[in-house]
């Protein structure tokens, strides 16, 4: 499995699944969540209304509707509360659950945004290190997912994920 880090807008990614950094209501919001709902069209919100929300660290899948991606995998990341409230483990669970769901649906290519590092204020380098660890761990086992892409919306995020990708496993 290959892990790529790109700069760009996840809503334009023509992949099997894009991940949405959602909130537990799954009813939309700002940031990447707002962008995904705008690009997917109102059918996405209508579909999300039937899902009954989603716990932090868990993941739920919907069609991509008007997006070029076939599926959207919605995962609420943890809100940063200083680091002693299980934030690291919850962020790791987001990656694990999204990748497992993508594999269950036979996805070959999955694109992630930088979960929790916007409005939820998770420290960027720490989040990137967790993403790197979990993506590598998942990739160590053969399965349908052949390519994972982290799509970075700004230079700071791109630089942080590039650093994490260059840092060997501890
Ligand atoms: N493509 C890729 N990344 C993006 C895009 C995009 N189109 N737009 C923003 N980002 P955030 P969170 C980046 O705040 O911290 C929402 O209101 C952004 O620059 O979207 O997990 C939800 O409903 C940042 O690097 O997600 C929740 O309430 C990253 O995506 C809450 O925000 C994540 O920032 C979730 O907060």
What pLDDT score does 170 carry? 58
What pLDDT score does 168 carry? 80
Q: Does the beta carbon of 10 lie inside 6 Å of ligand 1?
A: yes
CA dihedral over 74, 161, 84, 101, signed as positive or negative: positive
Residue 21 confidence class, pLDDT cut points 50, 70, 90 = very high
Q: What is the pTM of this model?
A: 0.98
Residue 52 confidence class, pLDDT cut points 50, 70, 90 = very high
pLDDT tens for residues 79-95? 999 999 999 999 999 99
Q: What is the mean pLDDT of residues 108-123?
A: 98
Q: In this model, does residue 169 exceed pLDDT 90?
A: no
Burial class (CB in 10 A: 0-12, 13-18, 19+), 30: exposed
Q: The tokens of 102 are what? A: 């993508």
Catalytic entry in 9, 16, 33, 154: 33
Which of 154, 163, 159, 156 minimizes the C-alpha distance to 32?
Answer: 154
Q: Which of 13, 67, 98, 113 to mutate to test the pocket of ligand 1 (most atoms within 8 A of CB)?
A: 113
Q: Which of 21, 95, 98, 121 to mutate to test the pocket of ligand 1 (most atoms within 8 A of CB)?
A: 21
CA dihedral over 28, 120, 147, 104, signed as positive or negative: negative
Q: Is 33 a catalytic residue?
A: yes
Q: In this model, does residue 126 exceed pLDDT 90?
A: yes
């Amino acid at each position: 499995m290959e892990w790529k880090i790109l700069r760009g807008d996840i809503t334009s990614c023509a992949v099997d699944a894009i991940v949405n950094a959602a909130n537990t209501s799954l009813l939309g919001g700002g940031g990447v969540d707002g962008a995904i709902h705008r690009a997917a069209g109102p059918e996405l919100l209508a579909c999300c209304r039937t899902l009954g929300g989603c716990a932090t660290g868990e993941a739920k899948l919907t069609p991509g509707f008007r997006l070029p991606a076939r599926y959207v995998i919605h995962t609420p990341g943890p809100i940063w509360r200083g680091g002693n409230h299980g934030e690291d483990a919850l962020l790791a669970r987001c990656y694990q659950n999204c990748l497992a769901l993508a594999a269950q649906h036979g996805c070959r290519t999955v694109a992630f945004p930088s979960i929790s590092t916007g409005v939820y204020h998770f420290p960027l380098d720490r989040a990137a290190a967790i993403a790197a660890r979990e993506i590598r761990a998942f990739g160590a086992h053969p399965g349908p997912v052949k390519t994972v892409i982290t799509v970075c919306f700004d230079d700071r995020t791109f630089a942080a994920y590039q650093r994490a990708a260059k840092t060997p496993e501890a």
